[in-house]
Every structure is written in C-alpha cells, then in structure tokens.
Structure 1
Amino acid sequence: MNEDIQEAVKVIKSGGTFLYPTDTIWGIGCDATNSKAVDKIYKIKERSKLSRFIVLVDSPAKILDYVEEIPDILWDLLKSLDSPTTIIYPKAKKLPKNVISKDGSIAIRIVKHEFCQRLIHILNKPIISTSANFSSEPSPVVFKDISEELKSKVDYIVKTGRDKMNKSKGSTIIKIKMNGEFEIIRP
C-alpha cells in the first residue's frame, strides 16, 4: 500500500488523475484544489460542468479549511457517523470555482477507507471523488466493472483493493440549508 500511496501522491502533485478504492465505490480523483486537474476529470467522465464532485477529507477538522462555518449540532453528527455520509455545506471557500456549486455550496465527506485516509494525510490536501464510470453509466461496485476505456484515460490506477468485493453503494447525502436546517438528499 505504501508504494501505491507514494505513486498516487506523485501523480496528484503533478496535476494528474487516478482511479482508487474508497469507502463506497471505486472512484476517479485528483487534487481538489487544482482546477486544471478537476477539468481533466470532467473531460474523462464526459460530464457536464453543471454537476459537481464530492471532496474527500481525512478528518472533521479539515472541513473548516473549506467551509465558512459548521453548525454546532453537526459536530456531534460528524464524530458519530458509521456509514459513509456526504454533507453539502452552504458556503465553500479556498476551492476552485469548478469544484464549488453555483449556489456556493460544497459536498464533503470524511473518508474512512484506510488507503484514502493515508493518501489525504500525506498529501495534506483534499481529493476529488466521483464514481469511476462515464456519466449516465452505472457506477462500478468492483474494480473489474470499470471500463477499459475509462482506465486508459487516467494517469494512475491504484493497485490496492482491486481484488476486494465492495458491496457498498454511494454515500448518504445530507444538505445543510442556509437557515441551519438539514435535508436528506440520498438516504
């Protein structure tokens, strides 16, 4: 795993894209603070730039680097989450325009997957996470379900976790509204 992380860090720091396992499904990622790298993922996925990606961080404290505020009630929730949960925060900061939604919001998940945790910690930056598929195609649950064409378009494919069966689906998504109320977007 260490060699995989070192190689992924090199690719990410050079503005590249990579395929990697997460705590949900296989994803395509890059440095979330690098707008040119993010544009590469839009191109790879053939995705409209009106749809935004999820940003992964390795701890609750890192969220404060990228959002204006976190309601007090949310801190307890963040610490107690057992399943992968993405939270859409209303006021993003310090991220490129092509990562932030038109309304100024940002979707962030604290990733629990060991590979992702270590990678983000070493990189000391958030990474983009989006399913490893072309837009409008089904999300691959296991590595072997990722199309060869998509694999050929990324700069690096992580070796860790290729043989593991992941029966997970996408994360739960909760949106925080400007008034502090919550809305469940995807259970």
Structure 2
Amino acid sequence: MNLIDCNSALKTLKSGLPIIFPTDTLPAIGCLPEFSNIIYEFKKRDRDKPLILMGSEYKQLIDYVHESAKEDYENIASKYWPGALTMVIPASEKQATIITSNDLSLGLRIPNSHMAQSLMRKTGPLLTSSANISGFEGSITYESIAIDFPSVEILGPVPWGKSSGKASTIIFWKKSGNWRLIREGEVLVKELH
C-alpha cells in the first residue's frame, strides 16, 4: 500500500496520476482537472458518466459555475455545504475544458471531511469519482481499496475517520430557483421543485 501525505499527493497529482482519499460519504479517487482521462482508465468507467469536481470551500468552485446559476449555487452551498450534497449545475464557459458531461453541466461538492478539505486547499479542486471499479460495489476501507487499486497512492494517515458509506444526494439545476432530485442520499434539500 502506497500511503502519502498532502505534499506528496500534490506531486503525484501534478504528474498526471490520481490519488485516493477519504470523504464524508465514500472514499474518492481524484485527479487534477486537466487529467480527467486517468480516472476513467483506472476505474474502467464509461466515458458517458461525468465526474464530480470537489473543492475545499464553495468559493473555490464559484468560477466553475455559469453566471445564470451563481445566485442559486451560493444559496444552496451556504445552507448544505460542507456535506453530502452534489449540485449539478451549468458550467462557466471559461471552464468548459474540464467538463466530463455531455450537457455542459458540472457536478460540484464540498465534502464534510477535514482530511479531504486540507488536501484540496493545497491541490485546488479535484475531479473525482467513488474509489471503486465501475460496476462493482465500493469499499469504505483503505485496505480494500488498496487491493482494487494497487498502483494508486492513498492519502494518509490511516485509519481514516468514519464515513457514511452512502453516496451523496445529487440535485440538478433546471433554471433560477428550480432544482430537481437526481439521486436521493442523506441530505434532504427543501428547495427542490
């Protein structure tokens, strides 16, 4: 098992490789946005399935949000983040190069995990997915993940703190003030229509 600290993680990420780190929900595999293809390769993930951009705080992600959705983004972010909520929102034109969806939208999340937030304060936002091989149930322990991804470095120290083991709630921005539930999780969003 290749355990690393935040400084080593930054070097690995800058080299184009992913790392695995804990979140408040499921462990994540993440990379710098310009290297998104690596996640698809390691996970054997269908390229039609978008990745989620995680950050350390909502202001770190605001430049990725299209102007038309910024007010709603800030409203939801201030109420539910950090936490197990992913917002799918139109992406800013100037950030279009990192989009992994077919509809110019981007999933955004701030995990309620000190370890994950500390990492992303150092690295900047990371494109992420759950740390499992696509089509297989993910593990929540670093030991099991190390078996699935033997060549991917894992953020230490271990053992990690407790996580829910459940995927995040996902909501989709339709238009001003109008959100649709995509996947139910632990977070209940009262602003849904």
AA at the equivalent of 1:186 = R
Partner of residue 76, structure 1: 75
Name the TM-score, length of structure 1 as normaliser. Answer: 0.84
Over 3 Å counting, the alpha-carbon distance change for 1:80 and 1:178 in structure 2 is closer
Deviation at 1:24, TM superposition (A): 1.2
Name the TM-score, length of structure 2 as normaliser. Answer: 0.82
Distance in 2, matches of 1:164 and 1:112, equals 11
AA at the equivalent of 2:144 = D
Indicate if the aligned counterparts of 2:19 and 2:154 stay in contact, CA closer than 8 A: yes
AA at the equivalent of 1:18 = I
RMSD of aligned Cα (Å): 2.1
Aligned match for 2:59, one of 58, 61, 73: 61
Over 3 Å counting, the alpha-carbon distance change for 1:14 and 1:64 in structure 2 is same
Indicate if the aligned counterparts of 1:31 and 1:127 stay in contact, CA closer than 8 A: yes
Partner of residue 7, structure 1: 8
* 3-state DSSP of counterpart to 1:138: coil
Deviation at 1:60, TM superposition (A): 1.7
Indicate if the aligned counterparts of 2:62 and 2:70 stay in contact, CA closer than 8 A: no
Structure 2: unaligned runs, 5 residues or longer: 185-193
* 3-state DSSP of counterpart to 1:19: strand
Partner of residue 20, structure 1: 21
AA at the equivalent of 1:140 = S
Over 3 Å counting, the alpha-carbon distance change for 1:64 and 1:15 in structure 2 is same
Identity of aligned residues (%): 27
2:102 is equivalent to residue 109 of structure 1: no
AA at the equivalent of 2:122 = I
Superposition map of 1:170-185 within 5 A: 170-178=167-175, 180-185=177-182
Over residues 14-70 of structure 1, what are the superposed CA-to-partner deviations in whole Å (9 max), with x where a residue is unaligned?
2111111112111111102x1xx2111101111111111111012222222111123
Indicate if the aligned counterparts of 1:65 and 1:93 stay in contact, CA closer than 8 A: no
Partner of residue 89, structure 1: 89
